[in-house]
Amino acid sequence: MKRSRLLPTVSCLLFCTLASARAQEIPGILPPGLKLPRITLLSMGGTIASRGDTRLNVTNYGGPGAPRVDPEHWVADLPDMALVAKITTEDFRPPQPPPPAPGTAAPTGGAAGGTTSEQLYKVARRLQELAADDTVDGIVVTHGTNTMAESAWFMNLVVSIKKPVVFVGSQRPWTGMSGDGPLNMLNAVRVAATPAAAGKGVLHCMNQNINPARDVTKLSAYRMDTFSSIDLGVIGVADPDVVKFYAEPVRRHTFKSEFNIASLPADPKTLPAVECVYAYTEAPGYLIDALTERGVKGIIVDGTGAGSPTGGPTGQTEAIKRAQAKGIVVAVTARTRGGRVQDTPRRRESGIIPADNLTPEKARMLLQIALTKTTDPKELKRIFDEY
């Protein structure tokens, strides 16, 4: 507690003098005997690790062959981190594809959309190692923003850890004008270095707000206040004076989770396949049939309103029955995003699992993991109630 209060103060005092300092050179003016928290900064890439060709390029960066920001660059570019933590970097980015042949267009799409279960496994295993590593006090993971909520949720479910794990990214590339990356990263490191951040599950910190991995989701394509816990709220803030927590999550996570990366199928390719289907006026059932024929183990239907698939002879409800007859588990989320899918007598009779207030992509991950343990609807319902 004392340390966490002292450091921001020192950091404020020295902000200007240090701006020109070299990476991780600890200035002699820090109080003697002060032990900085040891933070591992683990890169899974993302916009925060991307460079644009100009400062105004905040939309068309990255891609095969494009220059990237290596973890060492962050440390060099952001000397302020040296005042709040002793940083060790680790690089878990996927290998970069070669640049496109001359005259061909580079493929579009953000880096985060390409996160694979192999990468999630690698990072989860590493986090599990770091949990037992006495030389590490907290971990920051960078990630592209598009699917970072899913990745953070995966870690929240399968890594047994009490020390802080904080996911961070940015909406503008590291080189962008008024880029949010540097302050996001500094604050994520501060949160990871805060004792009160321990035991609260995997956290997310961007735009000075701290959200739990379970509830946070991306709500805006480009704005910097994109991450929100929708109808819940932030649990804390990273203000210049102090990192302050106002609430803690209630649902099971990390060290309270019954799941662990070590007990999942060793090969991520053998994780039960679960896919998502969207509901809308006249949404056809044959998309669900296609997944059934493909042999998936679970289907998430992102229902209208309170979690309703479409009806009618060609609708989703009939296709769900056909899927269930083949042993496929079906869970429903609410496309309204705010609000829980409730347990009603009719839904219970239908055997469809209500996915609480999870987004479909998070319900998918929980179902994938839950299906490694059970296919019993009652037990699956319990899992969705508790996590």
The residues annotated with a catalytic role in the active site are: 47
Build a one-symbol-per-residue string for 321-340: x at contacts with other proteins by CB under 8 A, - elsewhere.
------------------xx
- Residues in the interface with other proteins (CB under 8 A) total 30
Give me the least distance between CB of 384 and other proteins, in Å please.
Answer: 11
Residue 199, classed as helix, strand or coil, is: coil
What residues from 140 to 169 belong to the interface with other proteins (CB under 8 A)? none
Which residues have a Cβ under 8 Å from the Cβ of 72 and sit 6 or more positions away? 23, 89
Residue among 133, 239, 267, 386 that touches other proteins (CB under 8 A): 239
Among 141, 155, 235, 274, interactor with other proteins by CB under 8 A: 235
Separation between Cα atoms, residue 377 and residue 374, nearest integer Å: 8
Which run of H or of E encompasses 361? helix 360-370
Residue type, 220: S
Q: Contacts for 127-134 with beta carbons within 8 Å, 24 or more apart?
A: 127/42, 127/155, 127/159, 127/161, 127/165, 128/159, 128/160, 128/161, 128/260, 128/261, 128/262, 130/40, 130/161, 130/163, 131/159, 131/160, 131/161, 131/162, 131/163
Q: Report if residue 237 touches other proteins, rule: CB under 8 A.
A: yes
Q: Determine phi and psi for 341, rounding to 5 degrees.
A: -85, 125
Query: Looking at 15-23, 42-50, 120-128, 342-350, which segment touches other proteins (CB under 8 A)?
Result: 342-350
In the complex, minimum distance from the CB of residue 217 to other proteins, in angstroms, rounded to a whole number:
13
For residues 133 and 386, which CB has a smaller minimum distance to other proteins in the complex?
Answer: 386
Rounded distance, CA 47 to CA 144, Å?
A: 6
To other proteins, the closest distance from the beta carbon of 337 in angstroms equals: 14
The strand pairing partners of 238, in sequence order, are 243
The two beta strands, 236-238 and 243-245, are antiparallel
State yes or no: residue 106 binds other proteins (CB under 8 A): no
Contact range with other proteins by CB under 8 A, out of 162-170, 228-236, 274-282, 314-322: 228-236
Q: Which stretch binds other proteins (CB under 8 A): 50-58, 118-126, 239-247, 252-260?
A: 239-247
Give the single-character DSSP code of 362: H
Q: In the set 184, 188, 356, 358, which binds other proteins (CB under 8 A)?
A: 356
Question: To the nearest whole angstrom, how small is the minimum distance from the Cβ of residue 232 to other proteins?
Answer: 4
Does 240 participate in binding other proteins (rule CB under 8 A)?
yes
Among 106, 232, 273, 290, binds other proteins (CB under 8 A): 232
Q: From the CB of 192, what's the least distance to other proteins, in Å?
A: 18
- Rg, C-alpha atoms of the chain: 22
Nearest C-alpha neighbor of 40 from the set 170, 188, 255, 179: 188
The interface with other proteins within residues 248-287 (CB under 8 A) comprises 248-251
Between the alpha carbon of residue 195 and those of residues 163, 227, 280, the distances in Å are 8, 24, 46
Q: Does 53 sit near other proteins (CB under 8 A)?
A: no
x/- map, 167-196, other proteins, by CB under 8 A: -----------------------------x
Residues of this chain, 112-131, that bind other proteins according to CB under 8 A: none
Nearer to other proteins, 240 or 265 (CB): 240
Report which of 154, 157, 178, 135 is spatially closest to residue 258, judged by C-alpha positions: 157
Q: Is residue 15 a contact residue for other proteins (CB under 8 A)? A: no
Cβ distance to other proteins smaller for residue 13 or 56: 13
Phi, psi of 349 (to 5 degrees): -65, -35
Residue ranges binding other proteins (CB under 8 A)? 196, 199, 209, 214-215, 229, 231-235, 237, 239-241, 244-251, 339-340, 342-344, 356, 385
